[in-house]
Amino acid sequence: MSQACKPRRRLRPPRMTAMTLITLLLLLALAAIRPEQLQVVLYKAGLVTLGAVLAYWIDRSLFLVEARPHECIGGIHIVGAWLRRALIALACILGLTLGL
């Protein structure tokens, strides 16, 4: 295929770029208005990421290799594995952010 026949790809920014920029603008506004609150935001963000990591490892340690979402045979098994993992993540993140 010659160079002239190839379709041109549009360069797009990575996914979530707009939300990342909005978040950064909101954090800058918070830093201008109430800079002492940035510690709380950082603390809460740390709790959310810790909850997500804990949820992942709890799911991996509780369930067999065959029950992991990417190892399921298909159909309803994949849906069940993803829902299970989502519920474990929900419980861990909510437990950490609301409990501490």
Q: Are the beta carbons of 67 and 81 closer than 8 angstroms?
A: yes
Q: Chain-wide mean pLDDT for the chain?
A: 88
Q: Does residue 100 surpass a pLDDT of 70?
A: no
Q: Tens of pLDDT along 80-93?
A: 888 999 999 999 99
Which residue did the predictor score with more confidence, 38 or 64? Answer: 38
Res. 68 pLDDT band, cuts 50 70 90: confident
Nearest Cα to 59, choosing from 84, 95, 91, 90?
Answer: 84
Residue 60 vs residues 2, 69, 70, 92: alpha-carbon distances, Å: 49, 10, 12, 14
Res. 27 pLDDT band, cuts 50 70 90: very high
